[in-house]
Structure 1
């Protein structure tokens, strides 16, 4: 029995290759999630969002969303920090869906990257995460340091995403 292959832009997409690349990018996400650059007690720069954005770019919102949920769940099992809270897994799902929605089969521009990152920052970092932390610990919904962190990290994340996805879009990937 022959495996079904999807044809996109005149190229055949192998489900096996897609699953393999997705698994590799989930593994990279898990590794990157362990490493952050700390600048003082309040500011940490992480890079774990990059493989999820690449998945969104390569395979779309559904693949990136599911892979992000899998990475979040495996990450919690490997290195639990407190108790499991499904709100953060929902955040992971939304991040994958949003990156896929903004990048899949679309031209990569600085404006598109900036808009996608702004939407993710506002929805995830400034709205949902404070709600989850309030539910879990009773912390305030609006914290100044969180807003300052989002403002400081925004251009860094946009620059990293733009450099990565623009270079990926220039390469003729046989994925």
Structure 2
């Protein structure tokens, strides 16, 4: 239980670092650019890669920073490219997904199994259930009408998103991109 609590306190401490804010800003710009290239299938299904920077921020800085980053990026992307009506519930679901990724990834070894499990849980809880409830409220459609297409899309995208994210994290880690952050985190633990 103590490790779980320190996960949040350490992530909260990351907010005070200039390196965290500047890194989040750079990945935020990348998330906005990737968000512009999403593919929409009607109002209910969207395929995109803007979640990759959200996952990287959650991996580097934990659940608090990851949740705040994901939520703020959702609002910022909407302000830059409005697509439908703004619904705060969808922003809260995005915040929750960044928070959950931070709980799975922060200060933990990145394995394919961990990525598959975390992506499955986030896709099931956030994308399929909570987002479908929000879309049902927003557009006045029945939950069960929207659910099959959204569940199928997420089931198909689950291994694809997982492999892309895992491969990218491993490649960046192999190139030494994350070494600066790991050294800072190790110094904080001592």
- Given the two structures, how large is their TM-score scaled by the length of structure 2? 0.78
Within a 5 Å distance, the mapping from 1:95-174 to structure 2 comes to 95-142=97-144, 143-170=147-174, 171=176, 173-174=179-180
Following superposition, the deviation at residue 27 of structure 1 comes to 1.1
The change in CA–CA distance for 1:62 and 1:167 in structure 2 (over 3 A counts) is same
Following superposition, the deviation at residue 83 of structure 1 comes to 2.1
- Given the two structures, how large is their TM-score scaled by the length of structure 1? 0.85
Structure 1 unaligned segments of length 5 or more: list them: 1-7
Secondary structure class of the residue paired with 2:171:
helix
Q: How many residues align?
A: 163
Q: Which has the higher helix share?
A: 2
Following superposition, the deviation at residue 44 of structure 1 comes to 5.0
> Alignment RMSD, CA only?
2.2
Structure 2 unaligned segments of length 5 or more: list them: 1-9, 182-190
Contact preservation (8 Å) 1:61, 1:96: yes
Provide the residue aligned with 1:57 in structure 2: 59
